[in-house]
Amino acid sequence: MHAIRASVALVAAAAAVLTSACAPSATPVTTGGGSAPAAAGEKTVLTLGSWRTEDLAMWEDEILPAFEKSHPNIDVKFAATNTNEYNAAIQSQVDGGTGPDLITCRPYDVNRSWIKKGYFEKLDGKPMLDSFEPLALDPWSDDAGSRYCLPTAAVLAGFYYNKDIFAELGLQVPTTQEEFLAVLKKIKDNGKYTPLAVGSSESWQLAYNGLYSIGPVYWKGEEGRQGLIKGTKKVTDPDFQKAFEAFAAWKPYLPKGFESLKYPDMTQLFTLGKAAILPDGSWNINQVAVDGLNVGVFGPPTDVAGGERYLQEMPDMAIGVSAASKNKAAAEEFLAWTATPEFLELYVNKLPGFFSMAKQPVTYTNALAQSFADLKNGAKLTPRLGLDRLSAGTPPFDDEVWRVLQLMLNEDLSAQKATEELQKGLASWYTPQQ
Amino acid sequence: MNRAHYRYFLAFTLPALAVYVVFAALPLVNSIWYSLYDTDSGVARFVGLENYVYLFTNPTTSERFWNALTNNLEFFAIHLLVEVPLGLLLAALLTSGRLRRSTGLYRTLLFIPTTLSVVIVGFVWRLIINPLWGLVDFPLLGDERTALPTISLMSVWQYVGIPMIFLYAALLAVPNDVLEAARVEGSGAWSTFWRVKFPLIAPQFGLIAILTYIWTFNGFDLVFALNGSAPGPNYSTDILGTLFYRTFFGSSGQLSDLDLGATVASVIFLIILVVTAAYFGLLHRRLRSYEL
């Protein structure tokens, strides 16, 4: 009535364990699949586990039929679980000896723990790996560098801007931090529009679309990120502090009452034409352009004119073959297909905002997606700072970054104090930083 | 009662008992069982109370736990001090006889929010107090000092119908001849209420207070609907339910930890059990119920 019992969730989890333990293998070799009972005896049925319930129609109607056309002996079923419950569901299923044949892989630490538990087949030496750069494969590898999942898609982060407002105020797209701040100041001085559509109520996006997007130029992308992971760099180093200072410089340009504005409020502020710039992820492409707004996109500013450009490319998902699968050969066949341009082009164009991680360039039919993809050219790519290894303990680095960024905007916590707090939290459990 | 009666008694109770055992009692025991194991390595290893020791000694987890507990106490206190007295006031007004024919209308109107989904309540209130589109300039939900009281009052608004209807039913059961006698003795409305009516419904009032305690300490949905599983700003709206959810299922930046989640759930269970048992053992028995 008033509330859920915490134990209700446990009931669900316990029930999942019970049923998965009692149920026969969840990977039936021959089932009818509903439509064609005559051919049922021939087909190998695979299940593909995923956390994206919203993609069901796309997989069932577009992608899987394309695969089954060229592979008539394999029938793939898309089996999605709610995003928030996906990790726990997969864990209880696979631990119980069942689960899907193909597991969608979370990046970094979650997947690393799954690799450790032996959930996946090793992919080392398989030709399908050749379609990807090491940076794209690393999020799904173990400490020894063995590969377990094949990358499907990544998301990017940048700045959407309202072209009409820029034209009205006579503004140029900024390329350096100095120009960026000058543009913000001009919009503010004009007074008609909010310069930055940013609210701090949802702290995740302060990190993912804010600091992790504008910061790599200061901590030099992979150099700084790997340095933190290896323990050769500290969050309190000047490179990182400068990044936090660049983030703090946003504060004067936020809308009123930003402390309680949520992510949808930000998008709305921008799409209503009341704000000029929206720092956001590529996944929001459809929403920002929904009102026929004249939208462009630019990448994070460089430190100095002509300096190196950096762009956040966040590996979002990959697919691996379950070690418990009874149809590994068929599952590998499907996996190899996901590395082909046929699949990638189908996938990224059905889901604008998601980008292929393969070496071979892919054409995007969505103009905004194409200009987002163009930002990758000549830029150094780097994933989100806090998600690899640094968040596999308590306190998780990533969660702490969210928290201190929110405090920087809401309570004027200084960049120095923020980085000191982060370093202290990290050093409390992360051995390379001790 | 003869043998046949016992057989009927069993036939009618067993199905309900079975459902209760399978879906409530067993999982509860199971979750306590979980909390004594470590399954992170893939193999379940019995660790005794290690998970509890970790929860209370690790600087981060213990800070989050005490923070959530303190917030939960505040969440409960606001419900106890606002929702329950307000429910009593509304119930008293509804039974005062001053409203005449519109009693039914008010009763229904006041109870309607209780039947709404928390997602709708959260969404509507968030829009009303949104500094951009709403009525209030101040970021009530964005400020650490006001966020939790704001959410608590939203919850009070939604659920005030429950203590109201509960106490309303209790007040209706007060016999008219007792009230008549009070009036004949020259007692006014105020003293009739506090000296005659309230003592008669005190056991129900106590019950609704302890139920409020149970509900608020199991609270989760409104906070989750408004602020997600890491409720900010700066965990100022984190309560035990969201702490449990975040620990058990993980959040974007946090791995899910089934054993520690079960530990948190067991601690919540214990907190509720101890206070509820103490209430019924010490207090509720002393509230006299009158035979009328």
pLDDT digits (tens, 9 = 90+) for A367-404: 999 999 999 999 999 999 998 999 888 899 998 999 99
Domain count, chain B: 2
pLDDT bracket for residue A41 (50, 70, 90): low
Residue B109 lies in a domain: yes
Residue B292 lies in a domain: no
Query: Which pLDDT belongs to residue B257?
Result: 85
Structural domain harbouring B215: 57-286
Q: What does pLDDT average to over chain A?
A: 88
pLDDT above 80: residue A167: yes
Read off the pLDDT of each residue in A337-345 and give the average, rounded to a whole number.
93
pLDDT bracket for residue B4 (50, 70, 90): confident
> How far off is chain A from B189, nearest CA to CA, in Å?
33
Share of chain A above pLDDT 70, in %: 91
Contact A6 B216 (CB under 8 A): no
Please tell me whether residues B92 and B217 are part of one structural domain.
yes
Please tell me whether residues B35 and B81 are part of one structural domain.
no
Q: Which of A259, A387, A407 sits opposite B143 (nearest CB)?
A: A259
B139 interaction partners in chain A (CB closer than 8 Å): 201, 257-261
Contact A7 B258 (CB under 8 A): no
For B51, list phi and psi in degrees, rounded to 5.
-60, -40
**CATH code, B106:** 1.10.3720.10
Contact A95 B137 (CB under 8 A): no
Please tell me whether residues B30 and B128 are part of one structural domain.
no
Q: Which of B126, B131, B235 sits opposite A257 (nearest CB)?
A: B131
pLDDT above 90: residue B252: no
Q: Which of A7, A262, A391 sits opposite B254 (nearest CB)?
A: A391
Q: Which of A260, A399, A410 sits opposite B253 (nearest CB)?
A: A399
Read off the pLDDT of each residue in B240-246 and give the average, rounded to a whole number.
94
Query: Which pLDDT belongs to residue A42?
Result: 73
Query: Which pLDDT belongs to residue A38?
Result: 39
Please tell me whether residues B138 and B69 are part of one structural domain.
yes
Distances (CA, A) of B143 to A199, B82, B133, B151, B180: 12, 21, 18, 12, 52
Please tell me whether residues B40 and B83 are part of one structural domain.
no
Q: Which of A4, A387, A399 sits opposite B221 (nearest CB)?
A: A4
Please tell me whether residues B25 and B161 are part of one structural domain.
no
Residue B131 lies in a domain: yes
A21/A284 Cα distance (integer angstroms): 40
pLDDT above 70: residue A181: yes
Q: What is the DSSP letter of B228?
A: -
Residue B32 lies in a domain: yes
Q: What does pLDDT average to over chain B?
A: 91
pLDDT above 60: residue A24: no
User: pLDDT digit string (tens) for B38-60?
Assistant: 887 667 889 989 999 999 999 98
Query: Which pLDDT belongs to residue A17?
Result: 39
pLDDT above 90: residue A34: no
Lowest mean pLDDT of A74-78, A188-192, B6-10, name the range: B6-10
Query: Which pLDDT belongs to residue A26?
Result: 36
Distances (CA, A) of A361 to A313, A358, A377, B33: 15, 7, 11, 52
Q: Which of B142, B264, B268 sits opposite A201 (nearest CB)?
A: B142
User: Half-sphere exposure (CA, 13 Å, Cβ side) for B271?
Assistant: 23
Please tell me whether residues B15 and B150 are part of one structural domain.
no
Q: Which of B132, B219, B232 sits opposite A203 (nearest CB)?
A: B232
A286/B76 Cα distance (integer angstroms): 42
pLDDT above 80: residue B227: yes
The reply to whether the predicted model has a pTM over 0.90 is no
In B, minimum Cα distance to A269 occurs at: B132
pLDDT above 50: residue A155: yes
A202 interaction partners in chain B (CB closer than 8 Å): 228
B162 interaction partners in chain A (CB closer than 8 Å): 1-2
B22 interaction partners in chain A (CB closer than 8 Å): none
Residue B52 lies in a domain: no
* Chain A interface, best mutation among B234, B251, B259, by max A CB count within 10 A: B234
In A, minimum Cα distance to B242 occurs at: A6
B83/B271 Cα distance (integer angstroms): 22
pLDDT above 70: residue A29: no
Highest mean pLDDT (candidates A126-135, A161-170, B88-97) = A161-170
Share of chain A above pLDDT 90, in %: 75
Query: Which pLDDT belongs to residue A147?
Result: 96
In B, minimum Cα distance to A199 occurs at: B142
Q: How many CB pairs under 8 A join A and B?
A: 179
For A362, list phi and psi in degrees, rounded to 5.
-120, 140
Contact B253 A410 (CB under 8 A): no
Residue type (1 letter), A282:
S
Please tell me whether residues B128 and B197 are part of one structural domain.
yes
B141 interaction partners in chain A (CB closer than 8 Å): 201, 259-260
Please tell me whether residues B84 and B204 are part of one structural domain.
yes
Contact B232 A13 (CB under 8 A): no
* Chain B interface, best mutation among A1, A2, A384, by max B CB count within 10 A: A2
In A, minimum Cα distance to B240 occurs at: A6
- CB-based burial label for A145 (10 Å; 0-12, 13-18, 19+): exposed
B256 interaction partners in chain A (CB closer than 8 Å): 87-88, 91
pLDDT bracket for residue B291 (50, 70, 90): low
Cβ neighbours, 10 Å, residue B103: 16
pLDDT above 70: residue B274: yes
User: pLDDT digit string (tens) for A275-318?
Assistant: 999 999 999 998 898 778 999 999 999 999 999 999 999 999 99
B122/B225 Cα distance (integer angstroms): 7
pLDDT bracket for residue B292 (50, 70, 90): low
Lowest mean pLDDT of A415-419, B249-253, B284-288, name the range: B249-253
pLDDT above 80: residue A37: no
Please tell me whether residues B13 and B66 are part of one structural domain.
no
Q: Where do the domains of chain A lie, and which CATH numbers do they carry? A: 6-154+315-380 (3.40.190.10), 156-313+384-433 (3.40.190.10)
Please tell me whether residues B218 and B139 are part of one structural domain.
yes
User: pLDDT digit string (tens) for B78-109?
Assistant: 999 999 999 999 999 999 878 878 889 999 99
A117 interaction partners in chain B (CB closer than 8 Å): 41-42
User: Can the peptide bond before residue A395 be classed as cis, meaning omega within 30 degrees of 0?
Assistant: yes
Residue B38 lies in a domain: yes
Please tell me whether residues B21 and B79 are part of one structural domain.
no
In B, minimum Cα distance to A255 occurs at: B132
